Amino acid sequence: MPQASPRGTYLVIAEALRAEIQEGEGIGTLPSEADMMRSHGVGRNTVRRALKVLEADGIVESVPGIGWRPARGGDRRSLAERMTDVIAEDSLSVGDAYPSEAKLCERFGASRTAVRRVLAQMEGNGLLTTVHGKGRTVRALPTPTTRP
């Protein structure tokens, strides 16, 4: 990559891989890390960081002896979309308590870091608010344009 991205090069690569996976239904495995390093002109750590973002979102999974492949079955929506949809799925209204980080980690099989990142996005988008000592509450109901 000729220039560093203000978003973080690994995030740009993660989005490119996400688009490739969504376009290429039925794709068996992803290219090797070495191939991704060459095609994107970055180091191994940058590629691995991009893959970890996709793994946290449930898009890819690591298979020992095979490499990385698109996650089998299940929900292909990003973690941000799934966490935003919790408001509708759990019939939450403005002012209702939003599930705790621990419950979200268990529900989505995601790391606490990934869950916290999405919660911060949701707060930034005005969907949630944090009341210290009481947790997070729904501040506004999501619309298709307020997705994180």
Output the average pLDDT for the chain.
Answer: 83
Give, in order, the Cα–Cα distances in Å from 35 to each of 21, 47, 70: 16, 10, 17
Percent of the chain with pLDDT over 90: 40
- Strand, helix or coil for residue 70: strand
Whether the pLDDT of residue 10 is over 50: the answer is: yes
Residue range 34-78, pLDDT digits in tens:
999 999 999 999 999 999 988 887 788 887 777 888 876 656 577
Strand (E) or helix (H) holding 138: strand 135-138
pLDDT number for residue 126: 92
pLDDT at 70: 83
Tell me the pTM.
0.53
Whether the per-residue pLDDT at 89 is higher than 70: the answer is yes
Whether 144 shows a pLDDT value over 70: the answer reads no
Which range has the worst mean pLDDT, 56-60, 119-123, 134-138? 56-60
Kindly state the tokens that stand for 75. Answer: 């929900």
Q: Residue 8's pLDDT is what?
A: 84
Kindly state the percentage of the chain with pLDDT values over 70: 86
pLDDT at 35: 92
Count of C-beta atoms within a 10 Å radius of residue 73: 5
